[in-house]
Structure 1
Amino acid sequence: MGVEDAFFVRKQEEAGVTLNAVQKQAVLRTNGALLLLASPGSGKTTTIIMRIGYLIEVKGVSPARVKAITFSRASANDMKERFKRFFPGYPDDCVAFSTIHSMAYEIMRDYFRKRRTAYRLIEGDIALGEVEGGEPNKLPLHKKLILRELYYRMAGSPITDDQLDELTTYISYIKNKLIPPQQWSQVKCDVPEAERILHEYETFKRTGSDKLLVDYDDMLVIGNEAMERDRELLTSYQRRYDYVLTDESQDTSLVQHAIIEKLVRAHGNLCVVADDDQSIYGWRAAEPQYLLDFKRYYPFAAILKMTQNYRSSRNIVDIANRFIKRNENRYDKTMFTANRPDKPIVLKSLSDYRFQAKYIAEKIAGIEQLREVAVLYRNNASSISLMNVFDRIGIPFYMKDGDNRFFSHWVVEDVLNFMRMAYTDKRVELFESIHTKCIGYVTKQQIAKVKELANNESVFDNLLRYAEPQEYQKKLLTEAKEAFRRLKGMPPLQAIRDIRGRLGYEKALEKLCERLGFRKEYLIGIVNTLEEIAEGLDTLEQFAARLKDLEASMRESKRNRNGNAVTLSTLHSAKGLEFERVYMVDLIEGILPSNDDAKKFESGDIASMEEAVRLFYVGMTRAKSHLELLTYRMRDGGQTKESRFVTHVRSLQSGPRPAPSGSKETGATDGDARKPPDASGAKRVKKVKAKADKEELNSEERLLLTRIRETGSAHHLKFGQGEVVHLDEKTIHIRFEAGVKKLLVTTCLKMGLLTPV
């Protein structure tokens, strides 16, 4: 028995670790660059740890000479614990497991120490709320507080939490993409004055303190620049490690890739573990294209594909594998499993959005192992309705990335202020907070006049008597006074409907969206969620108490992290997790994919649509045995459209299953990747169409065509539903509302644009 075989046998006996053929190849191929493409559930962390152990125990490499980099503290800690379990004889921290940010910080610190540069971190809990020197004109030395103050100075109004999130994402994106200042204006951001604020922010960091101010993104940029400028520093880090591994590399940004490139330049011993099909952080500047171009950066690299899924049933693996192939810009790989078939994927279409949370609650109410259940959604806003129902019927839950800001959102505060006005209309400061969002069109000058009175009378009476209202205002103010009076005795649900209708709040929100660029669907969605919370309550006091209870429940749910509770999570935060039962919700057009995804796709830019496909795929592959996809036909009184991704899964599941691609993993290497499209925008879509035109229909597509022929009607993603008036081998003529369209049959079916009705 060879040394390598003895190592694998020993670890099987000691730790119960058994590797397949490709996993063993990944362990043994230690020299040079290696791209290890790891499909969901393929055992990548086990393979990484075994590779590190092999370097130490068989190749004789000192543990301190191995650097393992990941992109979250949780992943770094998981790798540490796994190494300790597999190789218990080694001291703690003998292998350098770290995040990319902690490594960049170390490089930056050494660089500044050499240059005698004083610096101060301004992110995290550091310096929160402090004011440098206590001087009145000094900004507080924390990133978010600095940005808040800069926005206020430039825009003349406070920044909302949503705008602050978008602004920080914009800044982070620019830093991680290494975009120079002259190109900042080309990066889209809906926050007013975003580019100008960024310029001011960068200036303040250099001049606003006696120390250079540094945020988390700066650590990466400065770390990269330090390795470029200081050859001695670069050499010292290159000599420190002989082998470097990076995990979750599909989430790596350009500046992070640049740091790692410099680190391994001397020896080239780099193992990159990634899955281009799970790259879902483009908005955070992740660079999946870097993986597709891996051989450009490392010409002699090997590429291995770990595609055996050990997690999910064969039903889920087969459908997910075929679903992800709708993307063009990816490595050509086929996920498979030796697991037995189980239940088909459940596709549930509800009549209305309101029934979604109740439906899930009923389905899982009798399940004992709730820790094996997850409900996944694209947007955090979806969690509030779920939490409200679960809390009411006593289903314990853990909210993985709960956002308490819903309860402090200005829309929620507005609605509560309307309700407070129902109890007393004498508080002018209360009315001042909502007067621009209420009928009456009261001006700031009129409010100022009433504030001067301080006579403890009705705000509306004072406005009518002393504020010199216009004729049209008199009637509106009288109506508003009466409407507020009636609110007090109403059930909360009816009160909210009166606030948004009779008192003019919804129209005011629409105007705000037009003027300031807020997303109307998001703000109206908050009001709709408040209606759901109000359902069944009798008084406004009960409604206010219910909001406080839910906020407390969200905070307390963190304690259920390791308990027997349902996990509520965004699809982004669910990556890396697995559950027996997974419910994916809100699967409608406009959410997944988003309206923005669809608009870009229609204009020829397929990148964001492909990321939406990957996000859906990540959700599907979290499930071990039960996967349920939920959609609905109505929301907030309007019709919705089933997500095109659900439609695709339905066609895959109802069509004939393809012959198994094989239950053996070959791990093909070196140049076996599908060449990604090298064009962008419309050229890229044109290339996809040209390819589709030349191909023949496969069995699934032929079945779809047969069904279209039988039903005589079809649905097109862009034109909607229509009647087939002519069909031959090459073309199909369909009468839509916009008129008769002549379409290419093969192209439409290959691109998933056409489905039977």
Structure 2
Amino acid sequence: MQRPQLQHKGSLLEFMRNFLSDLNEPQQRAVAATEGPVLVLAGAGSGKTRVITQRIAHLIASDKAAPRQILAVTFTNKAADEMRARVAGLVGPAAAGEIVIATFHAYCLRVLRRDIERLGYRKNFTIYTESDARALLRRVTDEMGGRGDRFSPALFHAAISLRKNAGETPDSLRKKPLRTATEEKYETRLGDVYKRYQSALRAANSLDFDDLLLHTLDLWRRHPEALAAARNQFRYIMVDEYQDTNKLQYDLLALLASEHRNLCVVGDDDQSIYGWRGAQTRNILDFEKDYPEAQIITLEQNYRSTATILKAANAVIQHNTARRSKQLWSALGKGRALDWFVCADEDAEAREAAKWLRHVMRRTGATYGDFTVLYRSNIQSRPFELAFRHAGIPYIVIGGQDFFERAEVKDVISYLKAIANPRDEAALLRIVNMPRRGIGDALLHQAHDLCRSEKCSIGAALSTLLERGATHGRGAEGIRAFLGLLQTYRRRFKNTGASLRKLAQELIIAIDYPGEIDRMSKNREQAMARMENIEAVLLALEQYEKKTEHPSLSGFLDQTHLNSDAMTESKQRNTGNSARLMTIHSAKGLEFPFVFVVGVEDGLLPHEQSLKEGNLEEERRLFYVALTRGRRHVALFEALSRTRNGRERLCKTSRFMAEIPETLVNKHVRAAPEMMAAKRRLP
């Protein structure tokens, strides 16, 4: 059906009739329920994005809100882009351009770019990547006498991130009641590192990704006028994937929606799989406690999967106790029973998956790109890569190295960050000897000492050492050339008429980075691949300039950090005619014609660590998510033995398999009878 566009409102009644007829009855109620708090329980594949976009169109068409008074919050840039495109198709690009459709982090960045000076930061702050943050934590812990610390920078970063997403500051961490001496020792150490880390970030006029949310909450709590401005801007707030919100996001939404209370949250508690990074299922389970007047609307019709797949998924998830009741159903037909393969070991499992993939292709006419292998842990991919390669099956592993974490890309981005923010220590330290300038470690240690004693940036410290004559020869020449280069390009990038791409290209040539790539590459192919990545950065600059009314270097860097998931999302969408190998977590929100769920064994799915920590219900939700990714067919694979830590061990079938009715499964035993007998003897 051709949906009308709302550039003109004269045909409002006709528009309402058209789009409502395209929705089922619960979807229509969700679109029409505009006032007060609303919880839309949207089961897997139930058309939640359509509901959100139609609801936005309805608010505008019925004159309840101007486009600029609507905020729609998503969890990924892909979801935001898709929602923006769909809304533009309904209300026209002009109106859609005024609606704020953004991730939590993108929205909070807007707030902080406007108001962060109230918190003592400069507006030209930069955002640290995860690797930048870990490098800073390594320096902080070393300075605190932490060499040999059993907690790595990666562990400290993960722990601090969890605390931030729970809304905890270094000071609030110290006030927590603790049960044991070991806990007290760990939390005290963590609190000290957290405090020094935040001080170092502030000195660098930088924020890490979690700070975007934490500082926005701090801003609103300390400056009511900033909160009032945000509240007054938005009369209607919608949140997608509400089951994935953490304490910090919950608090931000509670403050933002507290005046108008027109908060519509859409989510599915059965798909809450991010507890390990701070997501709180209680946010969706206890919605009525927070908003007693809330309307609850449940979407149960699935437009993705066959009835058999949904019956299996429903049967599994009903064993969870902490959930809202819902029963997915489909009008797409019964479909084939699930196929369950019991194999001898992980190599046999992978070979069987390759054989079954070929069999299904012959039977259905499917292509390689129709198949996705889902596993609990990345380490499970190796046997499938080997088996698919041997069978001549083209494949791609989703979740490889992030584009922005590649050395050559980080070098160029670090130059741009150091130009945009002279206090960005991580960026300066990365590029100070890239290419080599003769600035040695001893000189950098002197600069660090000066930073601490005079509370200045690393760039200012290098300049001071130069002025005081504390360095001579090649080191002095290197510092002078380095600081002069940054100062020159700082002035040039501030010229509003200059092309960002052209300036960046000139900078790359000025430092002879192509020559540096030749020196650090093993062969011509590797050098060419690295130069292609540099060209991709330049192309991104060019595209940013074309799409942005007032482009700036800091604006480009903001977009780069907020869109760091775009490369992964692009891979997921554009795999060509190749099978996909990916974790179940990576598959969240996606769908595929044929899904192979592998490693359905206790210890893998559910995961051994989760069983120890009592997180069985989240593991069951993860299995449910895996099942509901399939459109036409789902196959399940298990191995009777696996090699772990160099030892072969017998495995038990996942307890979740016993929750699927036998009538929904075709079981294929591919292991020897003696192995099956050994398995039956397991406790």
TM range, smaller chain: 0.5 to 0.7
The 5 A counterparts of 1:7-406 are: 7-11=15-19, 18-88=22-92, 90-91=94-95, 93-114=97-118, 116-118=120-122, 123-124=127-128, 142-152=132-142, 154-157=145-148, 164-179=153-168, 180-182=172-174, 183=176, 196-197=189-190, 199-206=192-199, 210-365=203-358, 367=361, 368-402=366-400
Alpha-carbon shift at residue 165 of structure 1 (Å): 4.2
Answer whether contact 2:339 2:665 (CA < 8 A) is retained: no
Q: Does 1:568 align with 2:575?
A: no
Answer whether contact 2:67 2:96 (CA < 8 A) is retained: no
Closer, same or farther: CA 349–301 of 1 in aligned 2, 3 Å: same
Alpha-carbon shift at residue 402 of structure 1 (Å): 2.5
Aligned residues: 490
CA RMSD of aligned residues (A): 3.6
Answer whether contact 1:345 1:628 (CA < 8 A) is retained: yes
Provide TM-score, normalisation by structure 2.
Answer: 0.65
The 5 A counterparts of 1:696-707 are: none
Q: Deviations over 1:713-734 (max 9, x none)?
A: xx9xxxx979xxxxxxxxxxxx
How far apart, CA to CA, are the structure 2 residues paired with 1:118 and 1:217? Answer: 18
Aligned match for 1:611, one of 605, 618, 634: 618
How far apart, CA to CA, are the structure 1 residues paired with 2:123 and 2:179? Answer: 30
Alpha-carbon shift at residue 31 of structure 1 (Å): 0.6
How far apart, CA to CA, are the structure 2 residues paired with 1:24 and 1:74? Answer: 25
Identify the structure with bigger relative contact order (alpha carbons < 8 Å, sequence gap 6+): 2
Unaligned runs of 5+ in 1: 129-141, 409-543, 602-607, 656-714, 723-735, 738-757
Q: Residue in 2 aligned with 1:653?
A: 664
Q: Residue in 2 aligned with 1:707?
A: none
Closer, same or farther: CA 172–94 of 1 in aligned 2, 3 Å: same
Aligned match for 2:650, one of 639, 664, 667: 639
How far apart, CA to CA, are the structure 2 residues paired with 1:402 and 1:644? Answer: 30
1:181 aligned partner, one-letter code: L
1:269 aligned partner, one-letter code: N
Q: Does 1:621 align with 2:619?
A: no
Aligned to 1:349, the other structure's residue is in SS state strand
Alpha-carbon shift at residue 8 of structure 1 (Å): 4.1
Q: Deviations over 1:294-346 (max 9, x none)?
A: 11111100010001111110101111112110000011121112221011111
The 5 A counterparts of 1:511-590 are: 558=571, 561-590=574-603
2:241 aligned partner, one-letter code: E
How far apart, CA to CA, are the structure 1 residues paired with 2:618 and 2:125? Answer: 33
Answer whether contact 1:166 1:189 (CA < 8 A) is retained: no
How far apart, CA to CA, are the structure 1 residues paired with 2:328 and 2:277? Answer: 27
Closer, same or farther: CA 654–97 of 1 in aligned 2, 3 Å: closer
Answer whether contact 1:118 1:211 (CA < 8 A) is retained: no
Alpha-carbon shift at residue 123 of structure 1 (Å): 4.4
Q: Deviations over 1:590-627 (max 9, x none)?
A: 111122232344xxxxxx11000000000000001110
Aligned to 2:23, the other structure's residue is in SS state coil
How far apart, CA to CA, are the structure 2 residues paired with 1:393 and 1:240? Answer: 58
Alpha-carbon shift at residue 374 of structure 1 (Å): 0.8
1:169 aligned partner, one-letter code: A
Aligned match for 1:630, one of 626, 630, 637: 637
Closer, same or farther: CA 208–278 of 1 in aligned 2, 3 Å: closer
1:6 aligned partner, one-letter code: E
Closer, same or farther: CA 394–250 of 1 in aligned 2, 3 Å: same
2:40 aligned partner, one-letter code: L
Moved more, 351-360 or 574-583: 351-360
Aligned to 1:646, the other structure's residue is in SS state helix
Answer whether contact 1:247 1:272 (CA < 8 A) is retained: yes
Unaligned runs of 5+ in 2: 1-9, 407-521, 531-566, 667-676
Answer whether contact 1:372 1:581 (CA < 8 A) is retained: yes
The 5 A counterparts of 1:476-495 are: none
Closer, same or farther: CA 266–558 of 1 in aligned 2, 3 Å: closer
Q: Give 1 or 2 for the bigger CA radius of gyration.
A: 1
Alpha-carbon shift at residue 231 of structure 1 (Å): 1.2
How far apart, CA to CA, are the structure 1 residues paired with 2:641 and 2:592? Answer: 29
Answer whether contact 2:246 2:278 (CA < 8 A) is retained: yes
Answer whether contact 1:150 1:197 (CA < 8 A) is retained: no
Q: Residue in 2 aligned with 1:447?
A: none
Answer whether contact 1:245 1:270 (CA < 8 A) is retained: yes
How far apart, CA to CA, are the structure 1 residues paired with 2:302 and 2:616? Answer: 25
Closer, same or farther: CA 396–195 of 1 in aligned 2, 3 Å: farther
Alpha-carbon shift at residue 379 of structure 1 (Å): 0.6
Closer, same or farther: CA 266–26 of 1 in aligned 2, 3 Å: same
Alpha-carbon shift at residue 651 of structure 1 (Å): 4.6
How far apart, CA to CA, are the structure 1 residues paired with 2:255 and 2:597? Answer: 41
How far apart, CA to CA, are the structure 1 residues paired with 2:179 and 2:51? Answer: 41
Aligned to 1:90, the other structure's residue is in SS state helix
Q: Residue in 2 aligned with 1:726?
A: none
1:573 aligned partner, one-letter code: S
Q: Deviations over 1:633-670 (max 9, x none)?
A: 11122211111112222557379xxxxxxxxxxxxxxx
How far apart, CA to CA, are the structure 1 residues paired with 2:248 and 2:572? Answer: 36
How far apart, CA to CA, are the structure 1 residues paired with 2:356 and 2:368? Answer: 11
How far apart, CA to CA, are the structure 2 residues paired with 1:218 and 1:721? Answer: 52
2:367 aligned partner, one-letter code: Q
Alpha-carbon shift at residue 193 of structure 1 (Å): 6.0
Alpha-carbon shift at residue 388 of structure 1 (Å): 2.9
Q: Residue in 2 aligned with 1:592?
A: 605
Closer, same or farther: CA 213–33 of 1 in aligned 2, 3 Å: same
Provide TM-score, normalisation by structure 1.
Answer: 0.59
Q: Which has the higher helix share?
A: 2
Alpha-carbon shift at residue 560 of structure 1 (Å): 7.9
